[in-house]
């Protein structure tokens, strides 16, 4: 319907191995990126309704993109390597507090370096908590990562130097300055987060197609078979933990510095871990685009359930809307998982597939 | 347009697009967002609090036709006590109405911390009556924060003053054991610096015992308290933590008369679930307690009488309901003060900020407003964003809260330097140059 594959013949391995093998896909993704990076800020500047105020940027797009970035991190571990983790929120917290500490103790350091160090700190912590994965798997591993969550929650609250001895345990982020650019307005914050999300998504997409990603998937599908064909489980499991935690830490630093700006340990509680796991499962295990779809589902649905009656001027009490949100949310999760256990990414793929074969679907 | 389905769907689409525009119209008035939580773990406390706020706004609209004739437009947004949801609510509501939000009352310490960073950029004052960060009392640094009528540090100081009086004077505190049982979050940790300073000053032994959120697991904490045998337990809890603590105290036979809750641990939802075990339990009051004042008669007549009331009628004089009303009243009076300077029209956040900073309610004015006896006179200035530093103690007799003490005033000679220090540290961290309050009119 939109476009057909007919006439696309790859005569180079390079072409066949590209992330987007079809030219129209490549054009599409470029258009999407141009729209996100250029058109959206321009629409904001021109004052076109949904883009006019700050709301869309600071309350919808920025948190959504950060959650999607974090979900990519978790998906590498859970979706690609098959190591279930319930500690994603805590690893985000490590990133946030590491970035805070770096900015307090090394104030002259460029912000991007701060973020990378935060990711690195989170990677190290993730590596340590990944060690049990060498001996245990499945539900047992989930419980071990749950322990990581509880331990880190405890540490954020109790260990004084993590919060720079703040009396209340709540800390505030420094101003965001990147090479003289003050990232102040909601649109600028959105652009910063969008850039990070795009780089992480691209990097992750490439990673999972390469040697490392194939090792992870082999471990996920059958670890003994993988070992027999020469994959070292220790190396691949630990790299999965480290890289996943790195991205989670980066996302945590963004969540703290760009989205909340002042936060308490509760911002990275187990609720956050569950939220990320839901995003990954609903979006689709082992899919990068699924992370974005899942994050959009989780973040936009409550806003829509509250917003649509208000938009139609149907009076609805705030608490009734909140309860309605929970109900609709639960029902939709069930429906999604019953009819498409592989998540939104799979629905998206089927849709594309059907459209490409149209009018002769099979 | 031959196809009837196309025609119909186009008509429907047009109607849907037109509907919100037609229904919304151009409403003129002062917009005030209401961030509340009627769901989630803290809902039993959040519901009466939110009811008090919206009922008071409704009273102003029904009785007076608004603030000096300017109608209040308010919209509630459900935060569920979660910081990220609260930030979303704030972003959604901050630009509503003809002039944007007049002020924001976040009802949560976590959301207050997050909004403290955003308010100066958006130029919207934050009213945190009875909560928020204590050092934000220093208005020269925290231009946009107003922890009106009581900060946690005031509460901590008054708590120790009361305990000292129980023992027969501050010098009798020497060698005593006092436990602080606190909710393990910024909210619960706020009083620690003051209590530590007081422990040093009066030479009593302070033991800090945290309780994990939300507070239903306290067995080990109370075991520790039983072993320690403290002279007093000061409790800094919120929500389900409080009735649980009272029940656990009964289980280990710790006398409830020796438990002093802080003003967020002193409302009906805290003691009613604990039943007879709560008899004798004491708590600080955020100036006001439960009970009726003259404003409640107006509420009956103009709000409940006309069927606009949010709460059920018997609940509309509880501690938390009254707290909501007091907070709403302080905001409304701040707007009224600003109108005296800027005129009777919807005001911007910046103008309202000026109004709150010049808010002064003396005994007469409180009497006019119908809040006589509920709060003590308050006067806000550039250097003091709290306005009054007093509190009383109440005790639960199984049926109702009884006020059992006179007004205590916090010891400013001790708190002021600590406050200056904390605010100064924040200013340095953020690169804020404090305003010179002697030059502010």
Query: Which residues have C-beta within 8 Å of that of residue B254, sequence separation ≥ 6?
Result: B222, B225, B226, B233
| CB distance A96 to A200 below 8 Å | no
Q: Please tell me the distance in Å from A15's CA to the nearest CA on chain B.
A: 43
Give the mean model confidence (pLDDT) for residues A329-340.
Answer: 85
Q: How many domains does chain B have?
A: 2
Mean pLDDT of chain B: 89
For residue B87, list chain A residues with Cβ-Cβ distance below 8 A. 59, 259-260
A3 in any annotated domain:
yes
Per-residue pLDDT, A324 = 85
CA distance B220 to chain A (A): 16
Structure tokens at A113: 């370096």
Rounded percentage of chain B residues whose pLDDT exceeds 90 = 68
Between B7 and A58, name the one with better pLDDT: A58
Q: How many CA atoms lie within 13 A of B165 on its CB side?
A: 13
Asked if the Cβ–Cβ distance from B113 to A263 is below 8 Å, we say yes
Looking at the partner chain, which of A172, A174, A264 has a beta carbon nearest the beta carbon of B110? A264
Does residue B340 fall inside a structural domain?
Answer: yes
Which positions 274-313 of A are in contact with B (Cβ < 8 Å)?
303, 306, 311-313
Domain that holds residue A10: 1-52
The reply to whether residue A260 touches residue B83, judged by beta carbons under 8 angstroms, is: yes
Tell me the CATH number at B58.
Answer: 3.40.50.2300
Q: Is residue A32 part of a domain?
A: yes
Q: What pLDDT, in 10s, does the model give residues A277-318? A: 999 999 999 999 999 999 999 999 888 888 888 788 777 777
Inside any domain, residue B297? yes
Interface residue A21 vs chain B (CB under 8 A) = no
Rounded CA gap, A96 and A99, in Å?
A: 5
Nearest Cα residue to B149 out of B289, B286, B50 = B286
Alpha-carbon gap: A341 to the closest alpha carbon of chain B (Å): 29
Per-residue confidence at A83, pLDDT binned at 50, 70, 90?
Answer: very high
Q: Give the residue on B whose Cα is nearest the Cα of A185.
A: B121
Q: Are B51 and B34 in contact (CB under 8 A)?
A: no
Q: Among A14, A36, A52, where does a domain finish?
A: A52
pTM for the complete prediction? 0.86
Q: Length of chain B in residues, anyone?
A: 441
Cβ of residue A141 closer than 8 Å to a chain B Cβ: no
CATH number of domain containing A70: 1.10.3470
In this structure, is residue A362 part of a structural domain?
no
Q: Is residue A297 part of a domain?
A: yes
DSSP bridge partners of B145: B126
Residue B435 has pLDDT above 70, yes or no: yes
**Which pLDDT tens digit goes with each residue over B251-281?**
999 999 999 999 999 999 999 998 899 999 9
- The predicted structure's pLDDT at residue A246: 97
- The tens digit of pLDDT for each residue in A122-158 reads 999 999 999 988 888 888 999 999 999 999 998 998 8
Do both B272 and B319 map to the same domain? no
Which of B186, B193, B429 faces A264 most closely, judged by CB atoms? Answer: B186
| For residue B18, pLDDT beyond 50 | no
Confidence label for A177 from pLDDT (cuts 50, 70 and 90): confident
**Pairwise CA distance, residues B238 & B270, whole Å:** 8
Interchain CB distance below 8 Å, A172 and B113: yes
Domain contains B3: no
Residues B400-413: what's their mean pLDDT?
91
Same domain, A338 and A218: yes
Q: Tokens 């000061």, residue? A: B234
Is the CB of residue A265 less than 8 Å away from at least one CB of chain B? yes
A174, A262, A318: residue with CB nearest B114: A262
Question: Is position A285 within any domain?
Answer: yes
Q: Is the same domain home to B120 and B31?
A: yes
> Cβ B87–A319 below 8 Å, yes or no?
no
Total count of domains within chain A = 2
A172 pLDDT band, cuts 50/70/90, is confident
**Measured distance CA(A317)–CA(B365) in Å, rounded:** 34
Could you tell me the residue range of the domain that residue B124 belongs to?
20-150+290-379+420-439
A69-103 per-residue burial string, b: 16 or more CB within 10 A, e: under 16: bbbbbbbbbbbbbbbbbbbbbbbbbbbbbbbbbbb
Q: Does residue A97 share a domain with residue A27?
A: no
Q: Does residue A346 carry a pLDDT above 60?
A: yes
| Preceding omega of B437 cis (within 30 degrees of 0) | no
Decide which of A52, A77, A92 is a domain's last residue.
A52
Same domain, B55 and B191: no
How high does pLDDT run on average in chain A? 89
**Is it the case that residue B395 has pLDDT exceeding 90?**
yes
Smallest CA–CA distance from B118 into chain A, residue: A261
Kindly state whether residues B138 and B207 are assigned to the same domain.
no
pLDDT at B9 over 90: no
Beta-carbon separation of A169 and B91 below 8 A: no
Residue B401, domain member (yes or no): yes
Q: Band of the pLDDT at A90, cuts 50, 70, 90?
A: very high
Res. B21 pLDDT band, cuts 50 70 90: very low
The reply to whether A187 and A95 lie within a common domain is yes
pLDDT digits (tens, 9 = 90+) for B370-394: 998 889 999 999 999 999 899 999 9
Contact call for A169 and B185, based on CB within 8 A:
yes
A334 min Cα distance to partner chain B (Å): 22
B67 with B34, same domain: the answer is yes
Confidence of residue B178 (pLDDT cuts 50, 70, 90): very high
Residues A70, A202, single domain; the answer is yes
Helix (H, G, I), strand (E, B) or coil at A317: coil
- What is the model's pLDDT at position B26? 47
pLDDT of residue A98 exceeding 50, the answer is: yes
With respect to residue B415, please indicate whether it lies within any of the assigned structural domains: no
State pLDDT tens for residues B302-314: 998 888 888 776 6
**In chain A, positions 326-355, which contact chain B (CB-CB < 8 Å)?**
326
B193 neighbourhood in chain A, CB within 8 Å: 167
Range with the poorest average pLDDT among A29-33, A347-351, B406-410:
A347-351
């Amino acid at each position: 319907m939109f476009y057909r594959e007919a006439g696309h013949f790859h005569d180079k391995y390079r072409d066949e191995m590209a992330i987007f093998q079809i030219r129209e896909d490549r054009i599409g993704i470029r258009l999407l990126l141009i729209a996100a990076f250029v058109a959206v800020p321009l629409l904001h500047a021109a004052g076109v309704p949904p883009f006019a105020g700050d709301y869309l940027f600071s309350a919808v797009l920025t948190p959504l993109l950060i959650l999607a970035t974090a979900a990519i991190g978790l998906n590498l571990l859970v979706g690609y390597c098959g190591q279930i983790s319930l500690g994603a929120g805590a690893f985000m917290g490590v990133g946030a507090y590491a970035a805070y500490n770096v900015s307090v103790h090394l104030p002259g350091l460029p912000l991007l370096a701060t973020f990378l160090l935060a990711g690195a700190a989170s990677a190290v912590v993730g590596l340590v908590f990944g060690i049990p994965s060498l001996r245990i798997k499945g539900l047992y591993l989930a419980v071990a990562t749950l322990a990581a969550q509880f331990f880190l929650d405890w540490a954020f609250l109790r260990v004084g130097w993590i919060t720079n001895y703040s009396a209340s345990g709540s800390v505030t982020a420094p101003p965001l300055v990147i090479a003289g650019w003050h990232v102040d307005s909601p649109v600028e914050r959105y652009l910063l987060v969008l850039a990070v999300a795009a780089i992480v998504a691209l990097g992750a997409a490439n990673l999972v197609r390469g040697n490392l990603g194939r090792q992870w998937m082999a471990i996920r599908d059958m670890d003994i078979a993988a070992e027999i064909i020469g994959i070292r489980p220790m190396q691949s499991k630990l790299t999965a933990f480290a890289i996943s935690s790195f991205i989670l830490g980066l996302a945590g630093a963004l969540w703290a510095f760009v989205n909340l700006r002042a936060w308490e340990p509760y911002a990275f509680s187990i609720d956050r871990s569950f939220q990320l796991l839901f995003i990954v499962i609903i979006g689709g295990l082992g899919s990068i685009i699924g992370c974005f779809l899942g994050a959009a589902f989780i973040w936009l649905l409550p806003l829509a359930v509250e917003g649509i009656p208000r938009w139609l001027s149907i009076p609805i009490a705030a608490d009734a809307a909140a309860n309605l949100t929970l109900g609709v949310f639960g029902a939709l999760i069930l429906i999604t998982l019953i009819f498409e256990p592989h998540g939104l990414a799979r629905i998206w793929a089927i849709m594309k597939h059907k459209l490409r074969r149209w009018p002769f679907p099979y | 347009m031959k196809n009837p389905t196309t025609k119909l769907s186009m008509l429907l689409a047009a109607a849907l697009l037109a509907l919100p525009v037609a229904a919304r119209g151009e409403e003129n008035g002062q917009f005030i967002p209401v961030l509340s939580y009627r769901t989630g773990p803290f809902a039993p406390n959040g519901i009466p609090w939110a009811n008090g706020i919206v009922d008071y706004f409704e009273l102003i609209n029904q009785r007076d036709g608004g603030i000096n004739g300017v109608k209040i437009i308010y919209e509630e947004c459900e935060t569920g006590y979660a910081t990220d949801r609260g930030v979303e609510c704030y972003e959604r509501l901050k630009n509503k109405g003809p002039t944007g939000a007049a002020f924001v009352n976040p009802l949560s310490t976590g959301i207050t911390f997050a909004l403290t960073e955003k308010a100066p950029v958006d130029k919207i004052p934050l009213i945190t009556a009875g909560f928020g960060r204590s050092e934000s009392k220093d208005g020269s640094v925290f231009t946009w924060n107003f922890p009106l009528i009581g900060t946690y540090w005031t509460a901590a100081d008054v708590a120790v003053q009361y305990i000292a009086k129980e023992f027969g004077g501050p010098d009798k505190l020497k060698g005593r054991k006092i436990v602080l049982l606190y909710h393990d979050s910024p909210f619960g940790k706020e009083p620690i610096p003051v209590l530590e300073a007081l422990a040093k000053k009066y030479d009593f032994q302070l033991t800090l015992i945290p309780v994990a959120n939300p507070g239903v697991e306290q067995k080990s904490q109370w075991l520790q308290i039983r072993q320690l045998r403290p002279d007093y337990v000061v409790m800094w809890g919120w929500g389900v933590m409080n009735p649980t603590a009272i029940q656990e105290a009964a289980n280990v036979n710790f006398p409830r008369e020796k438990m002093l809750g802080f003003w967020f641990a002193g409302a009906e939802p805290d003691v009613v679930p604990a039943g007879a075990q709560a008899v004798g339990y004491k708590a600080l009051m955020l100036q006001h307690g439960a009970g009726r004042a003259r404003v409640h008669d107006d509420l009956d007549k103009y709000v409940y009488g006309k069927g606009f009331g949010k709460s059920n009628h018997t609940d509309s004089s509880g501690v938390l309901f009254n707290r909501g009303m007091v907070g709403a009243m302080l905001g409304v009076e701040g707007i009224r003060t600003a109108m005296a300077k800027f005129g009777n029209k919807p005001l911007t956040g910046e103008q309202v900020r000026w109004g709150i900073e010049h808010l002064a309610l003396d005994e007469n004015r409180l009497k006019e407003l119908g809040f006589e006896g509920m709060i003590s006179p308050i006067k806000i200035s550039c250097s003091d964003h709290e306005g009054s530093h007093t509190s009383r103690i109440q005790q639960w007799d199984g049926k109702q809260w009884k006020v059992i003490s006179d007004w205590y005033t916090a010891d400013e000679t001790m708190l002021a330097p600590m406050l200056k220090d904390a605010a100064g540290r924040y200013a340095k961290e953020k690169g804020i140059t404090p305003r010179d309050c002697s030059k502010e009119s």
